[in-house]
Amino acid sequence: MAFQLTDTFIDDLRTALAAGNEDAVRGYFHGLHPADAAEILNSLDTDETVKAYGLLEDEVAAEALLLLEDDRREEVLEGLSPKEIAEQVIDNLDSDDAAYVLAELPDAQQDEILQHVEDLDQASDIVDLLNFDPDTAGGLMGKETVRVHIDKTVREAVREIRRQAEEVEIVYTIYVVDEDEKLVGLLSLKSLLTKPLNSPVREVCNPNVISVRTHTPVEEVAKLMDKYDLVVIPVTDSLGRLVGRITFDDVVDLIREENTEDVQKMGGVEALEEPYMSTPFWRMIRKRVGWLVVLFVGETLTATALSFFDDKIQKAVILAVFMPLIISSGGNSGSQATSLIIRALALGEITIRDWVTIVKKEFKSGLVLGLILGIIGFLRIAIWSNFVDDYGPYWLQIGLTLGITLTFVVLWGCLAGSLLPLFLKRLGLDPAVSSAPFVATLVDVTGLLIYFSISVALLDGTLL
Amino acid sequence: MAFQLTDTFIDDLRTALAAGNEDAVRGYFHGLHPADAAEILNSLDTDETVKAYGLLEDEVAAEALLLLEDDRREEVLEGLSPKEIAEQVIDNLDSDDAAYVLAELPDAQQDEILQHVEDLDQASDIVDLLNFDPDTAGGLMGKETVRVHIDKTVREAVREIRRQAEEVEIVYTIYVVDEDEKLVGLLSLKSLLTKPLNSPVREVCNPNVISVRTHTPVEEVAKLMDKYDLVVIPVTDSLGRLVGRITFDDVVDLIREENTEDVQKMGGVEALEEPYMSTPFWRMIRKRVGWLVVLFVGETLTATALSFFDDKIQKAVILAVFMPLIISSGGNSGSQATSLIIRALALGEITIRDWVTIVKKEFKSGLVLGLILGIIGFLRIAIWSNFVDDYGPYWLQIGLTLGITLTFVVLWGCLAGSLLPLFLKRLGLDPAVSSAPFVATLVDVTGLLIYFSISVALLDGTLL
């Protein structure tokens, strides 16, 4: 059964830490999975984290370090000497995870730590990995693979795998290579177990291997692994030689980060990179103030637009009363359209080339939704006019103005909200930037122009 | 290398389909992965999909069916007899996937199809699975597992696994059970390969198994698999007996669906369930109109609120000019806060119990962000007043009103935007419902009240 973190557990652990009772602290962490140890450490104060981390067993400590929040990991690493980092952390991690930890440190410190790594193969693997662009398969892969030669038999393969497996923590798949180390197939656990021991590997391996190159962008790696439900994908160099593998957990982390970024961008915030709770105050302000100011400056155009119509408002204050209703309806229909399109783009359901179909779809939807809101708006005024005299003798004209404006503003919101993400993507920008607030601001300014144009057309000579 | 779908490929396939050239069509699909076959079928028209589907090889056809868009899968299944569905689809799928296909069909048709399933074990497994709630581990699991008895040796285990592996498509992990079929450990491929053949399974297996019960909610399954980076998780019944397993691909699909729902809800749309492009017109309208009307009706409160202030607007039209600017600033800061909190809740970074910390954080952030926008707003008026005479002699009072209002409205937006998702969660509702449009509407009405209260306080006796 899985470990369940409770408040009592944290309280007891804190007491033991405060009392300096190291054996008790070790007891609390004994036998725990690194993910559980990390969960506990992330719930403590930062100085408690550093203290408790020093008491973990090396194997657990190395894996748990990967799962600490960024600022805690920094604190923990600052408390360790280069030799300790090499022996306690780097030597106990797979090459991809070790490279990940090192990549966050300054170059000089990286070199010093690598000098202390005992396993020379590991050190050289890490040096290789650090050279790759972190946004490519090379930057995400680990070098640990189990491989057999295509000219061997299943019996020889099993012997070879036994030898290699000692070095590799989890065996995902067995790769088949030729004499140049080129990847030519894979050997499933099933065929290894069920085929006669004297069958040649050549005959029992599966030559249809889906692999990526070291320079393949990570987004494409994620898409392939997702499409083909792969637990692990092999990575080859430009000559087709097997150089590493990427496991599903790294890709799941990547997808989660991208989803978080999308949600945050859609809310008009720059991607936070850290959990909400541990983002420092001024960094949080910086991530939010940029878009707020840009949207604010954009929105001051509404004041400029309205100052052209101040004589109309003076004549018919009732026009001002409906402004928030109209611009928010445009903004809401725009937010709906933009979130549907952004998600469909992210899932690959649509591409920019579908824009004509999308315009047709949104034109029809916008018209129907606009008519529905327009009719409700008209009815509200028609019914209200029997009870209050806000509208005077012109309730019909005011009702029609509101109804027609709402139809056009909602239609415009749907079109603008759906086309903006496509347009941003066409420019090579991230479509998720066209957040609900961004679309709303765009539709606000134009919505007011639509409103006053229709008002002037319908009310000139009566109210105006 | 992975298959790349091109327009030319689709055009050629279409021509072959139209000409009734079945051999050519078979040739286009030959050797393709089911995921690729499904991608091609999803790019055709629905009637072409049905025609082409009939020409796929059984193994590929069954797997590809799972990956078809919902309405296409329905069409394909309607074109097949119960016997064909049983023999071509159900017999070729793992029990979880077979149950998934059957669950979408009417009960009577399910029974008829199950009569035709040749493999009686498979039929009985499916009947078992259909009884589980689809939102629990039981409803997501497959029955296929490879298991060995704890009293055997590694040699006996290997022999037993060879026998069972014939039946199971992919061997993920080997489970160790006792005489009552209770799950007591797992045997890694690594220990199977590296331990001496005469070691007892009891000594080489790992007794720390993370498992779930059949009634565990799927969200919890997803969280556990994600936390511990599991490729597969075993499922036990209430007596601890091993009854099935859940694989990572099903969980990845689940997480993707939830993310999509969150993004759509945040945009103020009900979750679509189908891809954007294939959602029928009126269903799309239904998913969007509900929230739009609710928000519209909520927003009519702004008109009601404003009608109390129409005499103030009459006296000072300049107040109306800044309304959109003020309410949108409140709405934008609210959208930011709500999207940050929703995502942090979804990732488990915060819980409802953190609300005091969150209020403190958002109070400070809201105050700083509000002051920044307030100062910009004040400066705009102070500078403009030198060039235009919109503000008359009262530019200072108007500037202060705008600046102070912005500070309070943004502060209120941050507080409302962060607390609303927590409040919804507390009520047992989905926090993602507190979409950007929802928060914006809430802040619009209250923002106008704040605006006119401050205006009256500061401008009474001068402009008002």
Mean pLDDT of A265-277: 76
B461 backbone φψ class: left, alpha, beta (φ>0; ψ -120 to 50): left
Strands (E), A173-272: 174-177, 183-187, 212-213, 232-236, 242-247
Residues of chain B found within 8 Å of residue A363, distances taken between Cβ atoms: none
Q: Do A436 and B335 touch (CB under 8 A)?
A: yes
- The Cα of A363 is separated from the nearest Cα of chain B by a number of Å equal to 11
pLDDT of residue B340: 87
Give the predicted TM-score (pTM) of the model.
0.78
User: Torsion angle, CA of B342/B343/B348/B349, rounded to 10 degrees?
Assistant: -100
pLDDT of residue B26: 93
Number of inter-chain CB pairs under 8 A, A vs B: 350
| Each residue's pLDDT tens digit, B78-109 | 989 999 999 989 999 999 999 999 998 998 89
pLDDT greater than 80 at residue A212: yes
H helix runs in A347-394, sequence order: 355-384
ipTM value: 0.77
Helix (H, G, I), strand (E, B), or coil: what is residue A28? Answer: helix
Strand partners, A235: A212, A244
Strand partners, B206: B186
pLDDT greater than 90 at residue A256: no
Residues of chain B found within 8 Å of residue A328, distances taken between Cβ atoms: 295, 299, 302, 327, 331, 437, 440-441, 444
| Each residue's pLDDT tens digit, B263-307 | 777 777 777 777 887 788 888 888 888 888 888 888 888 888 888
Strand partners, B147: B175
| Each residue's pLDDT tens digit, B208-244 | 899 999 999 998 998 899 889 898 999 999 999 999 9
- The Cα of B248 is separated from the nearest Cα of chain A by a number of Å equal to 8
d(CA A284, CA A279): 6
Mean pLDDT of B117-121: 89
Mean pLDDT of B24-50: 91
Q: Do B165 and A436 touch (CB under 8 A)?
A: no
Of the candidates B161, B341, B369, the beta carbon closest to that of A289 is on B369
Average of per-residue pLDDT values in chain A: 88
Whether A212 contacts A235, CB under 8 Å:
yes
pLDDT greater than 90 at residue A53: yes
Share of chain A above pLDDT 90, in %: 45
pLDDT of residue B377: 92
pLDDT greater than 60 at residue A421: yes
Question: In angstroms, how far is CA B118 from the centroid of its own chain?
Answer: 36
pLDDT of residue A1: 56
Of the candidates A252, A306, A332, the beta carbon closest to that of B252 is on A252
Distances from the Cα of A5 to the Cαs of A8, A29, A68, A430, in angstroms? 9, 12, 16, 38
Whether A58 contacts A88, CB under 8 Å:
yes
Of the candidates B323, B357, B361, the beta carbon closest to that of A323 is on B323
- The Cα of A127 is separated from the nearest Cα of chain B by a number of Å equal to 26
Maximum CA pair distance of chain B?
98
| Each residue's pLDDT tens digit, B59-81 | 899 999 999 988 889 889 998 99
Confidence of residue B432 (pLDDT cuts 50, 70, 90): confident
Which class for A293: exposed (0-12), middle (13-18), buried (19 or more C-beta within 10 A)? middle
**In this structure, what are the phi and psi dihedrals at residue B120, rounded to the nearest 5 degrees?**
-65, -35
Residues of chain A found within 8 Å of residue B169, distances taken between Cβ atoms: 190
- Out of B61-70, B110-119, B249-258, B322-331, pick the least confident: B249-258
Name the residue type at position A450: I
Decide the pairing of beta strands A212-213 and A232-236. parallel
Distances from the Cα of A167 to the Cαs of A95, A117, A153, A250, B257, in angstroms? 12, 16, 22, 20, 38
Share of chain B above pLDDT 90, in %: 45
Chain B residue nearest residue A4, CA to CA:
B224
Which class for A121: exposed (0-12), middle (13-18), buried (19 or more C-beta within 10 A)? exposed
pLDDT greater than 80 at residue A2: no
Buried b (16+ CB within 10 A) or exposed e, B66-102: bbbbeebbebbbeebebeebbbbbbbbbbbbbbbbbb
Mutate which of A39, A68, A167, A321 to test chain B, going by most B C-beta atoms within 10 A? A321
Whether B146 contacts B118, CB under 8 Å:
no
Mutate which of A263, A312, A356, A395 to test chain B, going by most B C-beta atoms within 10 A? A263
Name the residue type at position B459: L
Residues of chain B found within 8 Å of residue A190, distances taken between Cβ atoms: 165, 168-171
Give me the domains of chain B, ranges plus CATH numbers.
Answer: 7-140 (1.25.60.10), 146-247 (3.10.580.10), 281-459 (1.10.357.20)
| Each residue's pLDDT tens digit, A75-91 | 899 989 999 999 989 99
Share of chain B above pLDDT 70, in %: 98
pLDDT greater than 80 at residue A267: no
Of the candidates B228, B332, B388, the beta carbon closest to that of A268 is on B332
Name the residue type at position A50: V
Q: Do B448 and A324 touch (CB under 8 A)?
A: yes
- Out of A188-197, A234-243, A352-361, pick the least confident: A188-197
The three-state (H, E, C) secondary structure of chain B, written as one string: CCCCCCHHHHHHHHHHHHCCCHHHHHHHHCCCCHHHHHHHHHHCCHHHHHHHHCCCCHHHHHHHHHHCCHHHHHHHHHCCCHHHHHHHHHHHCCHHHHHHHHHCCCHHHHHHHHHCCCCHHHHHHHHHHHCCCCCEHHHHCECCCEEEECCCEHHHHHHHHHHHHCCCCCCCCEEEECCCCEEEEEECHHHHHHCCCCCEHHHHCECCCCCEECCCEHHHHHHHHHHCCCCEEEEECCCCEEEEEEEHHHHHHHHHHHHHHHHHHHCCCCCCCCCCCCCCHHHHHHHHHHHHHHHHHHHHHHHHHHHCCHHHHHHCCHHHHCHHHHHHHHHHHHHHHHHHHHHHHHCCCCCHHHHHHHHHHHHHHHHHHHHHHHHHHHHHHHHHCCCCCCCHHHHHHHHHHHHHHHHHHHHHHHHHHHHHHHHHHHCCCCHHHCCHHHHHHHHHHHHHHHHHHHHHHHHCCCCC
Q: Do A324 and B325 touch (CB under 8 A)?
A: no
